[in-house]
Amino acid sequence: MKTSKIKGLVIRKANIFEISKIVSIQKTHFIYSKFWLWLLRSFLTGHVFVALKNNNLAGFIIWNNKTLCSIVVSEAFRGQGIGKELVNETMPCTDIQIVECSLHNKKFYEKSGFKVEKLKMVKR
């Protein structure tokens, strides 16, 4: 468990009892019907961390080896630097990659020290 530079913020490994809270935050930002199953698997194969602000779940991050798989900060806690703290405090090593990133998240990742390497376009 790490106490952050942000007052009242604690970042720690998630526990299995927090799955429903993590899923509820995720549902407000992404549509992925089998997220809970993927999350459960991530507890076994990756690293799931939560950010708690004054004991309230503010966000989460999921790493799998050197890949940042998912990061979500609840709407009520955005703009406070919580996402950047999640990345910086939980990063397993420096040789990191992001599998997929939407363009509206590009600025966040750049602020967190990432750079664009490739851009993938698909036809809808």
pLDDT band at 9 (very low <50, low <70, confident <90, very high): very high
**CA-wise closest residue to 71 among 56, 51, 55:** 51
Tell me the C-alpha distance between 47 and 44, whole Å.
8
Question: By mean pLDDT, which of 46-50, 63-67, 70-74, 83-87 is the weakest?
Answer: 63-67
The predicted model gives 31-59 an average pLDDT of: 79
Could you tell me the pTM of the whole model? 0.78
What percent of the chain is predicted at pLDDT more than 90? 23
CA-based torsion, 91, 93, 96, 99: positive or negative: negative
Tell me the C-alpha distance between 83 and 78, whole Å.
8
Q: Which domains does the chain have, with CATH numbers?
A: 2-111 (3.40.630.30)
